[in-house]
Amino acid sequence: MTSVPPPDQAPEPAAEPAGFVVEVAPGDRIHFLDWRGAGVPGVLLLHGLSNTSWSWTPVARRLRTVRHVVAMDLRGHGLSDAPTDGYDPTGFVADVVATAEGSGLLAGMGGRMVLAGHGFGAVVAAWAAVELGERCAGLILVDGGWESIEAASGMDVEEFLRSLDEPPEVLRSMATFLADRAGFDPSSWDADQERAARATVVETHAGRVVPATRPHAFEGSVRAMFEYDPTATLGAIDTPVVALVAADPDGQRGAALQAVTAARLAAGRDPIDVASFEHDGHNLMRYRPEAVTAAILSVGIAPRADQH
C-alpha cells in the first residue's frame, strides 16, 4: 500500500458553489454544483448512494484553489430529477457526460478531465471513464469501485436492499438524525457536514425525517451497483487509477483490489495506485479531505508515455 502526501493548498472556508442543471433528455435534468476554480484538468466529483454533491464540500474547498471543480447529484439524488428509468450504466454515464460537457469541464486541456467517485459514485465514475476514453485524465476510487458488491457483502440484491434501512429511532426527528451523523466523528462535524447531512433527508410535517432519495431511485441505483463487474470495467480503463481504501479489518477488500490490479496488469494496463486509511470510516472526504484532494491532484498532469 502506498500513501498519498497532503497537498500544499488550504481550503477556502468562505467559498460557495453555484447551482446549475443540465438537461439530459426532455424533462430529465441533472443538478450540479460548480465550485469554479481555475486550472486543468478539471475535476468532476460523484457522491455515494443516498448522498448528494454537498458531501464533497471539504474536498471541493481545497481543489478549487487549483482546479475547476464540479460536483454532481446523481440521477434520483439531491436536486436532480428522479425519473422512473435510466438507473443503469447507460443512463448514469449519459448523465456524467452531459454534466461534464454542460459545465465546461471538457473545454480545457484538450477536452480531458479527472473523475472522482465515492462508494457507488466510484462505480458510476468507472463506467464513465470507459465511455470517455482518452477524455478521462484520471480516475479516483474513494472507498469503492473495485469490488463485486454481492461477493463483498455476501448478500443478494434483495437482502442488501433490506439491510440499508435506517433505524427508526435515527429518523425520529432532524435533531436525532443530525446527532447520529455528528457522532460518527465529532471532531470533523461542522456547518458543512450538517448541510451535507440535511440534504439527504426531508423533514415531514410531523417532525420526522425520511430519506430524500426516492425509493425507486434508491432501488434502481442498488440494482445497478450489483450489476457492476469491477474486473472487466477497470481492465478497460487506460488511464491512471488511484484507490483510497478505508478500514478493512479482515483484509477482504484489499484482496479484491489486488485481484483487480492483477487483472489490469494482465490486460496491459498500469497498476492501481493504492492508499490505505486503516482507522477511518467510509466517508473519507469527511475524515481525510487533505488526502483525497492530494490523490485527485496526483493524476492528469503529466502526459502519457504514448503521447511523446
pLDDT score of 90: 97
Q: Strand, helix or coil at 44?
A: strand
Whether 304 shows a pLDDT value over 70: the answer reads no
pLDDT band at 216 (very low <50, low <70, confident <90, very high): very high
pTM of the complete model: 0.94
For 269, other C-beta atoms within 10 Å of its C-beta total 18
* Residues 242-272: tens digit of each pLDDT: 999 999 999 999 999 999 999 999 999 999 9
Whether 26 shows a pLDDT value over 90: the answer reads no
pLDDT score of 254: 94
Whether 297 shows a pLDDT value over 90: the answer reads yes
pLDDT score of 180: 98
Q: Angle at the Cα of 283 (from 232 to 19), degrees rounded to 5?
A: 90
For 186, other C-beta atoms within 10 Å of its C-beta total 7
Which residue is listed with cell 439491510? Answer: 163
Whether 213 shows a pLDDT value over 80: the answer reads yes
- Mean per-residue pLDDT for 281-304? 89
Q: Any idea of the CA torsion for 276, 277, 281, 286, to the nearest 10 degrees?
A: -110
* Residues 147-176: tens digit of each pLDDT: 999 999 999 999 999 999 899 999 999 999
The chain-wide mean pLDDT, for the chain, equals: 93
Whether 7 shows a pLDDT value over 50: the answer reads no
14 burial type by CB count under 10 A (0-12 exposed, 13-18 middle, 19+ buried) = exposed
pLDDT score of 10: 82
* Residues 88-121: tens digit of each pLDDT: 999 999 999 999 999 999 986 679 999 999 999 9
For 167, phi and psi rounded to 5 degrees? -60, 135
pLDDT score of 109: 66
Q: Of 85, 218, 222, 93, nearest to 150 (Cα)?
A: 222
pLDDT band at 308 (very low <50, low <70, confident <90, very high): very low
Distance set, CA 298 to CA 138, 190, 243, 273 (Å): 9, 27, 12, 10
More confident residue, 79 or 107: 79
Q: Which residues contact 40 (CB under 8 A, 6 or more apart)?
A: 67, 68, 108, 109, 112
DSSP state of 109: T
Helix ranges (DSSP H) in 64-211: 89-103, 120-132, 149-153, 157-163, 174-183, 191-198
Domain 18-301 homologous superfamily, CATH = Alpha/Beta hydrolase fold, catalytic domain (3.40.50.1820)
Distance CA 279, CA 27 (A): 44
What sign for the dihedral angle of Cα 218, 224, 227, 230? negative
* Residues 117-141: tens digit of each pLDDT: 999 999 999 999 999 999 999 999 9
Q: Of 27, 59, 14, 26, nearest to 244 (Cα)?
A: 59
pLDDT band at 5 (very low <50, low <70, confident <90, very high): very low
pLDDT score of 8: 54
pLDDT score of 39: 87
Whether 305 shows a pLDDT value over 70: the answer reads no
Q: What percent of the chain is predicted at pLDDT more than 90?
A: 88
Helix ranges (DSSP H) in 53-132: 57-63, 89-103, 120-132
pLDDT score of 132: 97
Whether 301 shows a pLDDT value over 80: the answer reads no
